[in-house]
Structure 1
């Protein structure tokens, strides 16, 4: 079969009425979750996972991709209307959007978030479609030595890029690696940290753990929070598409810059849409012709950051599909779903299941296109969505978490894992420890150990083998540079600060 046949198959898989219905329902769910302050896009993904068990592979992935894209955008709605970002990705320009609302420009702020999120998403998808198959061809030449360095590179990038406190990110990562050690899934097949519990023989189940860390922690935060609910400053919204064409012509450089930066940040393991959004807003201010207007209700930052946060979603799928290394916590959950559906991420996925890969690409395109009309509808309904009281919503979420965690293995132990890790994530975040490195540690810990042990067996214990192959040596040097760069820069600063004799 040729390329055209696979694409035709992908069209049949995606434009099936059942798949389109799943995408529509997921979109509505994602828009709702994203628009509720405190409920994140990752939480939307985690809550969808138990439902995807009962779906074929393509609709399962379509549900996750669509819900995520919608939730990232709809986080802008409470940001503009309540000054509370719906998702962390919207936090970068929440003040900007709220200032525009106070000026009577809420439609422009929300319209810019919607239209340029869709444009950024389509740009990221174009990069995913072109870069992923090319990278997969290169990845077929990879052996355990290259994969070892790749995993180390991913873990180190997650620590140094994705957090303000490197020490706290390292501690979070080590917690994740420790959790990844539990069970029999190690090269020696020896039960580790099971404490005689047969339920732990297979390791800590990824999905209950993630549902706990991203959903239960938010429920706990709501219970503890005593702040009064925010008030809506606007009762009715006009046409959000007015003036969007003018913004497109006025800020083409900002849109392109945001889309490119978002995609590049998305590819970095552990960075994600929120990091892309903050970086893009900062870059927008730096390159703007009117930097003094930022923070007073200026749309330029929203245009660039909006494009960045959705383009990063597609970027995060590049390492996930090609190497099985998640670009962010959302793709970490998606990788778990792909494994459950027999679509094992890695370069062989492009050889064995090309029609499913093209279907995933097509899902990204469709999701970003339908975001515009559905996002418009969500904005129209936003004044009603934002009035849903938390004391009704949170018990429903808690029920979803418990049922979903139980359904994975039909045991209460899954629910216990969800609650334990929910409490752990809450304690970590309240003390400034990021959760994303812990998730990456669990996902990549097993891969790291397997590739290291396999490499040691191949080389008869010779560590220099990790630098003897060209690609492995290149990855090794890049990894060492990232790992030792902070130490080197600190040493240089110390030398410069010494008084001259």
Structure 2
């Protein structure tokens, strides 16, 4: 009870409340502007958190991400241009409703059921995270090695339509993480004689470059004409929401559950949860023929999924230090910066901080409703902001924030190089998320591998000697070998080869 009281005191301090309000408004603005993303919003906030205490810094992360994910629905509905990737799944549906004069119902559904999904995911986080942490207290370096390897493998399979390109980006992330002396032997690697690289490539400058500068470059080079905003009055967005709740309870629960589960998978995140939820809603609907014509059912289920995935992604991030998506990858960087190292010990040594995080999630999803309503009311003004004004301001904030973290011009060059590289890679179909996972998890993987080899005196079979480690190891190998086994089965003797495959 003392830890809970301390958690409430930390969240409801004047400083934290002001930061929550400011970061919420910032997240709503970034999410509502097409071309900007929730990940970009968090990346831009990182330099600000450098000067905050741990809980206010986490409050900025939680509130900004929750608001930005919802706000992406607004331009999707009024412009047919999703503000974030999580809103893309049902953009056509919401836009069709807006053209029929139902923009208030579409936006109201996105707002209300996103909040409900976020609260559901928070409830799962509160219950599941301590249980997993208690279980993980018995983990040794063997279990963590296989768990990290399994998480990386699943991330490549889940988050990328082209697993080969995802694997290439993961290896690139490993290479970036190996630069410098941050390795078990403290041996300088790939520094090319540069003293600036002895400490490694800065993770936070690289994040700002990959997710903020790359978006600035993409938006600056985009010469497509701006879409016309649907000009219709938006009245009471809450009208009819109770009737929709009574009519679609299964869809709300299904979207919330699916979003939380998918969010907890490494590398998945809100956008994949949203697409999966929309597809499942259409498949199980009693009226599938209405989808695509302006039917609210898919918006309800996907809206619940994308915000519940946010809380779900924090479960592996807090318990194991494995990011569920790019947002929690940034959060992990902030946690290390604030000496709140993710892992099971975080729940035992700092229980008041964990209670504060739970309260932050609940509070952020509750204030989303009034702040989201206000954002919808001024949406047309937000969507009218010119890129020629916005992009230079964002780039300036990136440069100033990156330089201010360590007063290092070298960090600024890393940020700019990372932004250009991320833009070129994404334009050629290479996903950035696996690279971020490689940078975050590469040092952890190497450290646990070296520890395990020292403990076992170089005996490889020791990685399978403990029950949990053995199960995780076998499961990882099955995931690796499954494509080869499936390919061999298709070509096995006695099995007819399809004409198209033979050609």
Q: Calculate the TM-score normalised by the size of structure 2.
A: 0.98
Q: Give the secondary-structure state (helix, strand or coil) at the position aligned to 1:142.
A: coil
Cα separation, 2, equivalents of 1:25 and 1:450? 39
Deviant stretches of 4+, over 4 Å: none
More off after superposition, 489-498 vs 123-132: 489-498
Are 2:436 and 1:439 aligned? yes
Structure 1 residue 236, shift from structure 2 partner: 2.4
Q: 1:250 to 1:192 in 2, by over 3 A?
A: same
Are 2:183 and 1:156 aligned? no
Question: For 2:490, which of 470, 473, 493 is the aligned residue?
Answer: 493
Cα separation, 2, equivalents of 1:217 and 1:497? 48
Structure 1 residue 235, shift from structure 2 partner: 4.2
Cα separation, 2, equivalents of 1:42 and 1:274? 12
Q: Give the secondary-structure state (helix, strand or coil) at the position aligned to 1:285.
A: helix
Describe how 1:223-262 pairs up with structure 2 within 5 A: 223-262=220-259
Describe how 1:277-426 pairs up with structure 2 within 5 A: 277-426=274-423
Are 2:31 and 1:30 aligned? no
Cα separation, 2, equivalents of 1:485 and 1:96? 37
Cα separation, 2, equivalents of 1:265 and 1:348? 25
Where does residue 175 of structure 1 map in the other structure? 172
Cα RMSD (Å):
1.0
Cα separation, 2, equivalents of 1:7 and 1:275? 34
Q: Give the secondary-structure state (helix, strand or coil) at the position aligned to 2:47.
A: helix
Where does residue 217 of structure 1 map in the other structure? 214
Question: For 1:67, which of 64, 68, 73 is the aligned residue?
Answer: 64
On the 8 A contact 1:6/1:355 being kept in 2, the answer is yes
Cα separation, 1, equivalents of 2:186 and 2:364? 42
Structure 1 residue 233, shift from structure 2 partner: 1.3
Cα separation, 2, equivalents of 1:418 and 1:331? 19
Cα separation, 1, equivalents of 2:476 and 2:275? 25
Structure 1 residue 483, shift from structure 2 partner: 1.8
Structure 1 residue 494, shift from structure 2 partner: 3.0
Are 2:203 and 1:196 aligned? no
Deviations 1:326-367 (A, max 9, x none): 111110110111111111110001111100011001000000
Are 2:167 and 1:184 aligned? no
Cα separation, 1, equivalents of 2:147 and 2:496? 36
Cα separation, 2, equivalents of 1:55 and 1:191? 32
Q: 1:234 to 1:489 in 2, by over 3 A?
A: farther
Cα separation, 2, equivalents of 1:18 and 1:478? 46
Cα separation, 2, equivalents of 1:499 and 1:242? 54
Structure 1 residue 487, shift from structure 2 partner: 2.2
Cα separation, 1, equivalents of 2:215 and 2:153? 27
On the 8 A contact 2:101/2:232 being kept in 1, the answer is no
Cα separation, 1, equivalents of 2:286 and 2:123? 29
Cα separation, 2, equivalents of 1:234 and 1:466? 63
Q: Give the secondary-structure state (helix, strand or coil) at the position aligned to 1:233.
A: coil
Name stretches of at least 5 consecutive residues in structure 2 with no aligned partner: none
Structure 1 residue 474, shift from structure 2 partner: 1.2
Cα separation, 2, equivalents of 1:122 and 1:326? 20
Where does residue 111 of structure 2 map in the other structure? 114
Cα separation, 2, equivalents of 1:74 and 1:324? 28
Structure 1 residue 89, shift from structure 2 partner: 0.4
Structure 1 residue 499, shift from structure 2 partner: 7.7
Cα separation, 2, equivalents of 1:196 and 1:250? 66
Deviations 1:372-424 (A, max 9, x none): 00000000010100000011000000001101111121110111000000011
Are 2:66 and 1:86 aligned? no
Describe how 1:474-485 pairs up with structure 2 within 5 A: 474-485=471-482
**How many residues align structurally?**
497
Question: For 2:99, which of 102, 107, 123 is the aligned residue?
Answer: 102
Q: Calculate the TM-score normalised by the size of structure 1.
A: 0.98
Are 2:464 and 1:473 aligned? no
Deviations 1:227-286 (A, max 9, x none): 011110124211111110011001100100100000000110010100000011011111
Cα separation, 2, equivalents of 1:497 and 1:211? 52
Cα separation, 2, equivalents of 1:140 and 1:111? 43
Are 2:121 and 1:128 aligned? no
Cα separation, 2, equivalents of 1:320 and 1:82? 35
On the 8 A contact 1:185/1:202 being kept in 2, the answer is yes
On the 8 A contact 1:76/1:110 being kept in 2, the answer is yes
Q: Give the secondary-structure state (helix, strand or coil) at the position aligned to 2:304.
A: helix
